[in-house]
Structures are given as C-alpha cells and as structure tokens.
Amino acid sequence: VKENQEKLIDEMLFTDLITDQEANLAGQKELVYADQGLAINPPVPAYVEYILEEASNIIPLERLLRGGFKIISSLDSDLQDEIICASSTMLKRVYGEDPQMDESCQSSRLLPRYSGHILENDQDMEINLVLLDPRVGKVLGMVETSNRIGSGNMFEPKLPGSLITPFIYLNSFRQGFDPASLVWDIPFPGETISIVDFHPGSDGEDDFLGPVSMRTALVNDYLSPAIQLWDSHGTLQVENTMALFGISIPAENCQNCTYFSGSSRVTLVDISQSYGVFANQGVLRGKSYGTSGLEVHPTALNRIEDAFGAIWIDTTQPVEKTVISEQLTYLVNNVLSDENIRSNTVENDQFLIGRSAGIKVGNVADSSSGWVIGYTPQFVTTVWTGIINEETSLSQTDIQQINSSIWRSITQYAARELPVEEWEIPEGIISLDVCYPSGMLQTEYCPKIVREIFIQGNEPQQTDTLYQAFEINRETGLLASVFTPAGQIVEKVYLAIPPEAHDWADKSSLLTPPAVYDLNRIEGTEDLSISLPKNFAFVHGRVGVIGSIPEEGFVSARLQYGKGMNPTSWLQIGPVILSPADNQRIGNWDTENLEDGLYALQLVVIRDQQQVEKTSLVLSVDNTSPVIKLRSDLDGKRLFYETGKELLFELEFANENEIQRVDFSIGSENHFSRDLPPFVYPWTMSVGEFELRITAVDHANNQSLIRITFEVVED
C-alpha cells in the first residue's frame, strides 16, 4: 500500500497535478490499516443479492462490481428495518429467549406471544419474508433470518404444499363452478394419508366432513377435495394456470409430494407475485423480462445511474398484463378473505387486522416447513419458515403460529397509516341464497341456507337434490310402495350419497335411505281384485285389465297408473267405471307411449259415504324389442364341411334375464328352443346353403327376428 502511495505521488508530481509541498505532506501522512479480523466479508444480505442479480440482467455483474454506479432500490428502508427486527425477535422467542422490546422496532410490539415448541441452539431454523407492492410490482422488503451464519435458502425453490390450492379451485371456477359448488371431503380407498394431513392444523380427533362447499374446503385446507380436483384437472392444466401468474415451472417436478404428486417447487418472489395478481384484481404488474417482453416479474430496482448521471435502468412505469378476469379474481378474493368460514378460531384470530385480507396458509406434509401468504390491495406479505436439520422438527401448528404472527405484525405495521381498501364488486357478480352445501336452489328439506356469490350466468337453476325426502314404512323401515298402508307411511329426509362416498358414510354411521321396497302386498278380496295382468308381470302395448268390483255400496270406480313403486301422481285409465264387475274386463291400458320401467296399476272403488277401497299391483312396462346379436358373424360366409362337426350358434343380449324364450330354426326340420341362458344352439354341419332364423321373445312378449344366410361346402 505504501509503495502504491509513493508511486502515485510521483506520477502526480510529474504531471504537475500537485506541488512539491503537497507531495511532501501526503508522503508524511500516517496510514491507518484496518484490523485483519475485520477483513472477513460478512454475509451479503439477501436483498443485496437479489438486487445485484436483477441489475446484472442489464449490466454485467463484473462491471457492476467495479463500481461507479448508483443503484436506487425499491426497498422501503423503514419497512426493511421493521421486517428484520420483527423476524429476529420471533426467531429469538422460538429459541426460548425473551428479547427486550426495541423502541425503534414498532412491528415487534405487534407480535403475538409464541406458545409453541422451543428449539435448542444447535437446531437450525430459517425465516424468509418478502413484502411486495402488487400495484406497481415492486419489492418493498426482503429478509432471510436464521440462527446460523452463512448463506441461507432464500432463493431456493421450496415445496409449496397446500399453497397452490387457490389455483386448483380457480381452474374449477373457470369451468363454471363457483364457491358454493359441492365437493366431498372423504378419504380415498386404500389411502394411507392421515386425517391430520388431510386436515392440516387439526388435532387429529376430527373426521372427514363429507359434503362441503368449495369455499369451505379452500379456506380451511380440506385437502381431499383439492386432491380430487387436481387429479381431475391434471397437473399440466393447473401448472399452466400458475405459469400465467408468473410462477416459473421447473422441468423436474416433485413426483413424491404427499399432497399433489407432480407439483413444482416455487420461490418466494414468484409465489408472492402470483398472489399479487389476486390482490391487483387479475392484473400482473412489474418489469418486463426477456426479448419478447411478455414475461413480467417484480422488480427491486427503481433506477441505476452511472457517475456521469446517465440512467441505465428506470422502472418508474411498470408494465402490466391481464391474467384473469375481474369476476374470477373477485371469487378468489371473496373466499380467501372470508373471516366467518374458518373452522380454526385461534388461527382466524391471528388474521384479523381490522381490514380485508386474503389469507392462504400453506401446509407442507412430511416437512418441517410452512407458509402464510396474506394480501390486501396495497401489500402482499409472504412468510416461509423452515427447519434446516432434517432430524429437527416443529409441528405444522408451531410453524404456522410463527408465520401468522410475523405476517400479522408486518402487515399491520405497513398498513398503519394507509386507508382501508376493499375489492370492488365487478359487474357480472350476483348474490343468491342457496342450499348449503350443495350450492343449489333451496327446498323445504334444505338444512341450511347461505348467501353466495356467482358469476352471472353460472348461478344454479336446479333445486337441491342432496337432501331428499323418502316415504318409509315405519314398521319395517323399508321404502314405502304402493302396497304400504297409508297409516304406516312416514316421510324421512336423507343425505344422497354418491358411490365414492359410501365407505365414508358407513364409517360415519350416517343414516342412509333403505334400498329395498316394502313389497308385502295385501291381496284384495274376491269381490275387489285385479286378476290380469298379474303382479310384477311384464306388459307392453295395449293391456287388457280384468278384475272384480263388488256391488255392495258401489258408487263408482276408476283405474289409474303412476310411475315407480310408490307414485306421487296418478293418471286415470279410460272413463270412470259406473257398474260393478265380476272377473271381467274393466279397462284397457295403452302403454305404447310410456317409458320402459316400473309402474303401479291401481283400482280405486268409491262406496257409500265416500268410503274408498284400493287394490294395487306393480308391472314392468317394456315396449322395446330385444336386440339379438350372434357372437360369430356368419352372415354371407362360406364354411368348409367337416364330418360330424357341430357349429355353435351363441347369442348375447344386453340383459339375458329379460329374455323369455329363443327359437332357432334351419330349414324346415331343424328347430330348437331355449328358455334359459345360455342361449346357444349346437347344429351338426351338412353341405348346402342355409338360412338360420332366430326369434327372441322377452317377458313382455316383444319379439325380434333375424335371418342369417351361410353356405357349407366340401373342401
């Protein structure tokens, strides 16, 4: 250093930049050398690393490090100081310390008390935080806090866990679903994931809830519905949506992620930007990257100037890109800011800051890490906490307490002097009372009515079908039928369970409707009866009804029919019957235009003093002829004769039980009939041209005929 000083003084003398006197004074000045220990470079703060990385996209890093530039960042120095001290205070509390409140750190006074597990000093933990202004796409604060010295994990992609569920539900909203739509919180067959993993933050003593709304499932992190939607949408579709929000999707995905197999890791800045789109009502703002200018990322720079005052970078005017519609954005914001739907009241209290905020807790299964992202129209605050040592663990509850506490203190401090802002309701959003949890229009059986929001045109048109009333024989517990005496019929309301939820319903001891009808028919008397058709017979076309109607006290009678085993409405057959009958035709029932299926046929007799007597039976209307299909296609074929060989003509029907008889015939002498499956005919080959005729008759006497011609020739 001394040699360099003397050399420089000589050169300045030679070029007359200084006088001899100035040179002597400079040479005599004592040089003070720094202590050698202070020469060890301290860790570079995370925000410095991020700013230099961003600036190096315009100016080569080696040129930047040579100096001569003035870099003006977007970081708010006051907020940055508060973020650092609040994170440090929280970190000390996790290690059992009780730091004194610093008057200069107001945000630390807003930290709630920590009541979680205390770590030992050799157990490494790290807190990362990003504070973003979504309106201009600028980073206001960034911190990486740890109990160890050295670089941390601030910029490493991290497991997102349940942090990606808003994008999964957003995909559903884009397909016409809404926050009121029904999803099922149920276990999967053979699933080994515990209830605690499916319900992060629970105490393990709760259970699957069955039917819930998308709003309830998203806010409370009920992950069974989210996983079902992830599987139905497909990884690619969800990650394409996330990419639109500015999240960089790596080529190598996490195939073993507990929640969402195939999902990608994310960085704090990326995920903060993506939630900023929600905060900014569907618009992504920031700085354009890449040659196309289509990529928009948040910036930590305001301006870079050189020593001559030339401006190299100026981000005063952000670029913007509309990602999703205001209506879809409002659905997400309305759900994530819903303070009344959270089941975890302790967690909910942490998020009450006196203004609307969209909150998403990111639980990460099988990992000692977790997230909290909360946003208002002015700020996005992202907090991640992780344990560095794999053998060290905090519970998800402890981690979320740390994250939510820091989020609360920083957001409250940052917004302390700002006006309260709400997300405006855009045009095309309507509110409607619907039945919970189906999201359909209310009925008299609906147990709970809620007010929900919809994009106009997607509101429900159908009444609730989740809660259905059934008429039950109160003595047998079976479904009431036309045979059940009126005095034994009671109405009960049941939850309609889809097949995939049957196991859950069984384990939950949920009362489900009986599947069997009460078929205990009380036969009519000899005086009042229907003798033809017979009960449970198959009928088609015009059906003659034969019955007996007693003469004593007779006023009138009528024949009527209704659809199903226990019709709710009846249609009269023919005119009113005005005379008694004794086992004779009492009406003609035309079934030709009816749908195939079960129908009840009823004879109603009115006696003196308006006394009513009935006799009923159930019939299967079948006006559809059976479809005959030969397993081996022989029509028009030429076969080679083999002595003594049998050809097996085998038929198949959609429902063999509906077939009463099948007749086979070849020529005038070969006839064969079968009235039970399998419907096959073994025919011994002979030489010649043949026509095979097959006639099938079902139990309603509908007939079908097919003709197949083939030839048998000698080889």
User: If pLDDT is split at 50, 70 and 90, which confidence band does 392 have?
Assistant: low
* Closest to 160 (Cα-Cα) out of 43, 265, 63, 83: 265
Structure confidence by residue, pLDDT tens digits, 423-467: 999 999 999 999 999 999 999 999 999 999 999 999 999 999 999
Span of 41-50, 58-67, 71-80, 179-188 with lowest mean pLDDT: 41-50
Tell whether the model's pLDDT for residue 573 goes beyond 90. Answer: yes
Query: What pLDDT score does 460 carry?
Result: 95
Distance CA 377, CA 380 (A): 8
Three-state secondary structure readout of 6-72: HHHHHHHHHCCCCCHHHHHHHHHCCCCCCCHHHHCCCCCCHHHHHHHHHHCCCCCHHHHHCCCEEEE
Name which of 388, 476, 392 is nearest 154 in CA terms.
388
Share the mean pLDDT of the chain.
89
Q: Which of 50-59, 203-212, 563-572 comes out lowest in average pLDDT?
A: 203-212
Q: Is the pLDDT of residue 38 over 50?
A: no
Instruction: Report the pLDDT value the prediction gives residue 523, as an integer from 0 to 100.
Output: 65
pLDDT tens-digit series, residues 471-525: 999 999 999 999 998 889 999 999 999 988 988 888 888 888 888 999 887 665 6
Which residue intervals of 389-542 are DSSP H helices? 396-414, 502-507
What's the whole-number mean pLDDT along residues 563-573? 94
What does the alpha-carbon distance between residue 657 and residue 675 come to, in Å, rounded to a whole number? 10
- On the question of pLDDT at 359 being above 50, the answer is yes
606 pLDDT exceeds 90? yes
pTM reported for the whole predicted model: 0.78
Q: Of 279-283, 608-612, 639-643, where does mean pLDDT reach its minimum?
A: 608-612
Q: Are strands 125-133 and 69-73 parallel, antiparallel or unpaired?
A: unpaired
Residue-wise pLDDT for 333-347, tens only, equals 999 999 998 887 777
Rounded Cα gap, residues 90 and 110, in angstroms: 11
Mean pLDDT of 646-675: 90
